[in-house]
Amino acid sequence: MTIRDLLRLAQIDPLEARILMAHALQCSRVQLVIRENDALSVEQVNDINALLQRRLQGEPIAYLTGEREFYGLSLKVTPDVLIPRPETELLVELAMEKLPQAGRVADLGTGSGAVAIALAHTRRDAQVIATDISDAALAIARHNADHHRVTIQCMRSDWFDRIDGLFDLVVSNPPYIAASDVHLSQGDLRFEPSSALTDHANGMTALSAIMEGARAHLKPGSWLLLEHGYDQAIAVRQQLIHTGWSDVQSWKDLAGIERVSGGRWDAAAPEK
């Protein structure tokens, strides 16, 4: 059986089939085209068919290949971490705008380390602290940082509970999907760690905790940036205003959805 034969028989999207075949054969997709008439061994056919079947059952491509590109960087991902998504690149872009030269930034709930590593890779002057409550996630983040030869300080912490000192910026993509949201039982979300997706409540618990905790960990005039759900921008802005943040606003992703909201902390402002 040849690569072309397997592609013809595959019951998944042709592009996805090519990605999985290239991964199984340890070659590029260009090489896959060049080799499409090559005969495959029984072992190769079995390996490819196993991957195709797992994808047919809904398992995410990123978990099958063990990697996902984010901000131009190839990152290792496993079922222990959320799969990095393109819309989160907005959080990185905004962070780079708000982070002063040689600034200190905390990425809370770092998961694979995507945001922290993208920042450290682009802003070599920055001091980046990446936290997560999951030891398995922190191991992945450390691996990705080492792979890209960037320096980030990985720390096990439940939001701010083990963090000391003040920051020039705090960013986070926390679990914000409500426990009742039907999307949790659909698509890739079925396979991702639930603790990285939902707060097991109304979707605002983690966001609220970070808004509250960040006030004691930011230098005067520094920013908090939060990624949130497609329908949460108004609620996040209202709570930021209620808890004393200034310059509160939201930013839209490439799909035109308000995806990140934030505010600036003025230490002189009274806490409400």
**What ranges do the domains of the chain cover?**
3-57, 79-265
Distance CA 127, CA 104 (A): 5
H helical segments located in the chain: 3-9, 14-25, 29-34, 42-56, 61-65, 89-98, 114-122, 135-147, 194-197, 205-214, 233-242
Looking at residue 272, what is its pLDDT? Answer: 39
Report residues of the chain scoring pLDDT below 50.
269-272
Question: Which CATH architecture describes the domain 79-265?
Answer: 3-Layer(aba) Sandwich (3.40)
Looking at residue 83, what is its pLDDT? Answer: 97
- CA 15, distance to chain mean position in Å, is 23
Question: How many Cα atoms are found within 13 Å in the side-chain-facing hemisphere of 115?
Answer: 33
Looking at residue 53, what is its pLDDT? Answer: 96
As given in the structure block, the two tokens for residue 256 are: 């035109």
Closest C-alpha among 60, 153, 174 to residue 111 = 174
Distance CA 145, CA 75 (A): 9
Looking at residue 269, what is its pLDDT? Answer: 43
The pairing of beta strand 167-172 with beta strand 218-227: parallel
**Do 128 and 152 contact (CB within 8 A), yes or no?**
yes
Looking at residue 74, what is its pLDDT? Answer: 97
Cα-Cα-Cα-Cα dihedral sign, residues 12, 13, 18, 19: negative
**Do 262 and 211 contact (CB within 8 A), yes or no?**
no
Distances from the Cα of 51 to the Cαs of 19, 62, 88, 106, 107, in angstroms? 10, 12, 27, 37, 33
Looking at residue 239, what is its pLDDT? Answer: 97
